[in-house]
Amino acid sequence: MKFAVFGDIHGNIEALKAACAAAQAAGAEKIYHLGDLGGYSPFVNEVVGFLIEHGVEGVQGNYDETVANDREHCGCKAEDPVQEEMANKSFEWTKQHASQKTKDYLRSLPFKITFVAFGEKVLIFHATPSKNNLYWYEDRPEKFFKEMAEKVDADVMIYGHTHKPYRKDINGKIFINAGSVGKPKDGDPRACVTLIDITAGKVNVEFLRISYDVEKAAKAIVSSGLPKYFAEKLKEAK
Ligand SMILES: [Fe+2]
């Protein structure tokens, strides 16, 4: 079974369209998204419309939950006061511009998706199996990975939230952070499409990086009234 996973799209419709074309060209039979569909870029309604139209199933991220339920804060962690201020502006913008239909969709997303492929139990969630806003980076101690795996009945865990892709194998469990389609933070501004191929006894993971018109996406951020800061971050992939 070959499928693609789209992490953190964050309102970036240009990146999503390119990612979808690449996943189809690579032979993905199905696409899953990892939530966090709005914020930082302006096209949350278009992203949701596109996912519905293309039958892309997915889970609810912290940003989806907080936008849909009109929370005070997006649940994202800022590294400095400037980032916090910018994050708040993005969150308020997104709550204001997300349509009722979009909010209904975001609210309806499940916390997790599970299925079995060739005997491998696959579990998909946004950040961790029990919390949607904890950052699960690759350099977390092995103990952390083991504790997470103990909470669930799964062989392959797929998640995002950090915008930095990796695969790690520990004690026969496979941990896949699918990175981000619309707002990578690993220094590579191209969209990240994670391609997973499960066959008998084998799980193959590929992180495709897809070029798209980042300049156009950055301009759309500026003209939407969102802070220019996010256009710069998009280009720098930080
Ligand atoms: Fe997130």
18 CB-near residues (< 8 Å, 6+ apart): 191, 210, 211, 212
3-state helix vs strand vs coil in the chain, percent to 5: 35, 25, 40
Res. 201: pLDDT tops 90: no
Read off the pTM. Answer: 0.97
Helices (H) and strands (E) in the chain, counts: 8, 10
Q: What is the pLDDT of residues 76-94, one digit of tens each?
A: 999 999 999 999 999 999 9
Task: Give distance in angstroms: CA of 32 to centre of ligand 1.
Answer: 15
Instruction: Give me the chain's average pLDDT, please.
Output: 97
What would the two tokens of residue 39 be?
Answer: 């914020």
Tokens 């998706």 found at: 113
Please tell me the distance between residue 173's alpha carbon and the centre of ligand 1 in angstroms: 23
* pLDDT value of position 195: 98
Band (227; pLDDT cuts 50, 70, 90): very high
* Alpha carbon distance 203, 89 (integer Å): 41
**Cα-to-centroid distance, 212 and ligand 1 (Å):** 22
- Measured in angstroms, how far is the CA atom of residue 200 from the centroid of ligand 1? 32
Structure tokens given for 168: 């790690």
Distance (Å, whole) CA 136 – CA 68: 24
The answer to whether 132 and 111 have CB atoms below 8 angstroms apart is yes
What are the distances in angstroms from CA 26 to CA 12, 195, 212? Answer: 21, 8, 16
Angle (nearest 5°) at CA 38 between 23 and 159:
55
pLDDT digits (tens, 9 = 90+) for 13-23: 999 999 999 99
Residues 6+ apart with CB under 8 A from 148: 128, 129, 136, 157, 175
Ligand 1 centroid distance, CA of 132 (Å): 7
Distance (angstroms) between ligand 1 centre and the Cα of 159 equals: 10
What is the per-residue pLDDT across 141-161, written as a single tens digit (0 to 9) for each?
A: 999 999 999 999 999 999 999
